[in-house]
């Protein structure tokens, strides 16, 4: 695990978008695992800006997202599909066919999860971006999730329900799914993440802090700002 400490959210966002752009230049058909939430928003803004300047071409990249609420209506603004299209996909030259999202409207959630695992197996993720929840979750792998977990339907932790204001379940890549990524970048910003960051970096590798399992990855980069790293 490599830990990079930066000053603040702006520096963190710049570093993440620079890594993504560099990797796309090296491999134009890069498969990227994207995340939602507040943490990657600054990096997405940078990617849009650099694309507008003609500095990066997204036409050949493929993407997978970590998770989605379930069930959720197709037109629900809270969906992670809506988040991705509003915050990045509609603003860059990505091909719709290259976007893979868990479908929160799927009737058969088991088949949806199995199909997603198969798609990832066929298109291994080169670079996975993840945030960390205040309770140490990654994607919606809440405390109690195991290292062998695959893409599946999960209950949300009460803390997550409160923070996300979503009363329901979710589909999420499993921890084993995420660990198959060739490279993982975990980002954390702000004081509210300090405890989770400390626990996942210096605590035991344990299912109570699902992010700790990422330490098993051979290629994990953790980018944290001063506040998120304040308890280390
Ligand atoms: P945040 O979410 O980026 O909105 O803090 C992270 C997460 O819960 O995974």
Cβ contact 163:135 at 8 Å? no
Cβ contact 132:190 at 8 Å? no
pLDDT value for 112: 98
Torsion over CA: 118, 218, 142, 227 (sign): negative
pLDDT value for 162: 95
pLDDT value for 135: 97
Cβ contact 93:57 at 8 Å? yes
39 CB within 6 A, ligand 1: yes
- What is the position in ligand 1's atom list of the atom closest to the CA of 190? 5
115 included as an active-site residue:
no
From start to end of the chain, where are the E strands?
Answer: 2-6, 31-34, 62-65, 67-70, 99-100, 127-131, 152-155, 169-172, 183-188, 220-225
Mean pLDDT of 15-28: 98
37 CB within 6 A, ligand 1: yes
Tell me which of 3.40.50.300, 3.40.50.1360, 3.90.380.10, 2.40.10.10 is the CATH number of domain 2-199+212-221: 3.40.50.1360
Tell me the per-residue pLDDT of 44-71, one tens digit each, with 9 for 90 and over: 999 999 999 999 999 999 999 999 999 9
Non-local CB neighbours of 3 within 8 Å, separated by 6+ positions: 201, 222, 224, 229
**Which of 192, 187, 130, 205 has the alpha carbon at shortest distance from 159?**
192
CA-nearest residue, atom 8 of ligand 1: 133
What average pLDDT does the chain have? Answer: 97
Q: What is the CA radius of gyration of the chain?
A: 16
Task: Report angle CA 164, 100, 117 to the nearest 5 degrees.
Answer: 90
Instruction: Inform me whether the pLDDT recorded for 19 exceeds 90.
Output: yes
111 CB within 6 A, ligand 1: no
Mean pLDDT of 136-159: 98
Mean pLDDT of 204-228: 98
pLDDT value for 37: 97
Report the separation in Å between the CA atom of 145 and the middle of ligand 1, taken as the mean of its atom positions.
17
Catalytic residue among 68, 103, 137, 225: 137
User: pLDDT class for 74, splitting at 50, 70, 90?
Assistant: confident
pLDDT value for 27: 98
pLDDT value for 2: 98
User: pLDDT class for 225, splitting at 50, 70, 90?
Assistant: very high
Cβ contact 191:122 at 8 Å? no
User: pLDDT class for 222, splitting at 50, 70, 90?
Assistant: very high
Torsion over CA: 127, 130, 136, 138 (sign): negative
Report the separation in Å between the CA atom of 205 and the middle of ligand 1, taken as the mean of its atom positions.
20
133 CB within 6 A, ligand 1: yes
pLDDT value for 203: 94
Instruction: Inform me whether the pLDDT recorded for 75 exceeds 90.
Output: no
Mapped onto helix, strand or coil, the DSSP state of residue 127 is strand
């Amino acid at each position: 695990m490599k830990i990079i400490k930066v000053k603040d959210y702006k520096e963190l966002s710049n570093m993440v978008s620079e890594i993504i752009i560099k990797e796309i230049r090296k491999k134009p058909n890069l498969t990227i695992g994207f995340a939602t939430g507040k943490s990657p928003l600054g990096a997405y803004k940078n990617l849009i800006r650099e694309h507008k300047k003609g500095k990066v071409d997204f036409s050949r990249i493929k993407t997978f997202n970590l998770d989605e609420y379930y069930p959720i209506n197709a037109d629900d603004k809270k969906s992670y599909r809506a988040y991705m299209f509003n915050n990045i996909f509609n603003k860059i030259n990505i091909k719709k066919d290259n976007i893979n999202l868990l479908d929160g409207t799927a009737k058969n959630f088991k088949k949806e999860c199995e199909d997603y695992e198969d798609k990832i197996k066929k298109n291994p993720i080169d670079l996975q971006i993840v945030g960390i929840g205040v309770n140490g979750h990654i994607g919606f792998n809440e405390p109690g999730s195991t290292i062998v977990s695959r893409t599946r339907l999960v209950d949300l932790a009460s803390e997550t329900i409160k923070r996300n204001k979503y009363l329901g379940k979710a589909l999420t890549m499993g921890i084993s799914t995420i660990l198959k990524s060739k490279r993982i970048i975990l980002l954390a910003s702000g004081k509210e993440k300090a405890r989770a960051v400390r626990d996942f970096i210096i605590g035991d590798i344990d299912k109570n802090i699902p992010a700790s399992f990422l330490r098993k990855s051979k290629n994990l980069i953790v980018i944290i700002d001063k506040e998120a790293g304040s308890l280390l």
